[in-house]
Chain A
């Protein structure tokens, strides 16, 4: 079966890729021989191969397009640096209002945190006391600490418990 073109020779469809390889010098000897044999027997493929060979001659007449100048790499690197700089200044420009807001927020947060820490220190001790009280009152009223003289910290609570158990 042959594919359709208006002018010239058209190779058998199943030989097209093989003939392209043949033209490219990319075939092993046995494949090259079988391509040659087919071209001897088939006028279409023979004509198409001749046609393709002239296309190589025709297209190679012009040679490759113009290459880069000697300064190309340096120009590229300069463009890259400029783009990077632009990106970082854009980033800074975009975040600037947020940054100053951020600083103000950080300052406020530090103050608040300071207040919280000092409050927490006092509250923590208080809470610990309550916890100890709850535990002790939960076990037995006998072990209830002297409300007038609550334990100052966990160690004191443990000491109290140990003493009362020991006494029992």
Chain B
């Protein structure tokens, strides 16, 4: 098996976050070229470089942790099979993320489910805990508390239209930029900004309604602006 240039593999392992984007893109181009020539190790390096973001994207869209790994594998398999046809006009990451988005939609279509279905409402205890966390404005401590917060947020997000939910999750939880979201989801940058901003209002409405219904925000101004 042919090798990836050693400096490239080493730098990718040593400084995954501090590599500047431009250099990373250049290295991606070279790795793509090598992969197109049949160098398996180069493709494996591409997998290592992009696996985290693909997981974030797939996880952000599906919100089903149990299915993320399988879909992510499928994404890289598709990329491998299609890499000879990839002309490098777009960045490899953009091309790969689009494959990921399509794979998620395929998956959801086959499973015939909404990305996330929660029938049960939040328990009073959960609301109370979330309210404590939000007003204290500090992340929940420990993996258990974090997982629970995530579950509570997922339930609230499920009340939003699918695209609003996706934009919020990918932007705020998974760290994608507005520019990236526009490219990946084939939307105009301005459209992404407007939708994101409106979605923020909606998720806060859901939050306030939950708090209102459990009496946590009694007398809050959220009810002043009804209608």
Contact = CB atoms under 8 A, between A and B. Distances in A.
Nearest to A51: B204
B115 interface: no
B129 to A, nearest CB: 11
B174 to A, nearest CB: 5
Contacts of A62: 146, 149-150, 153, 173
Given A21-B193, A65-B55, A60 B146 contact: no
The winner among B48, B56, B172, B226 for most chain A CB atoms within 10 A is B172
B198 A6 contact: no
A64 B175 CA distance: 8
Q: By DSSP majority rule, is chain B's interface helix, strand, loop, or mixed?
A: helix
Contacts, number: 155
B201 A8 contact: yes
Given A10-B201, A55-B200, A65 B68 contact: yes
Interface in B83-112: none
B137 to A, nearest CB: 6
B121 interface: no
Nearest to A80: B80
Interface in B189-227: 190, 193-194, 196-198, 200-205, 207-209, 222-223, 225-227
Contact of B197 (A16, A72, A74): A16
Interface string A74-95: 1111011001000000000000
Interface of A: 3, 5-11, 16-17, 19-21, 23-24, 26, 47-48, 51-52, 54-69, 72-77, 79-80, 83
Interface of B: 40, 43-44, 47-48, 51-52, 55-56, 59-60, 63, 65, 68-69, 72-73, 76-77, 80-81, 133-134, 137, 139-140, 146, 149-150, 153, 168-169, 172-175, 178, 190, 193-194, 196-198, 200-205, 207-209, 222-223, 225-227
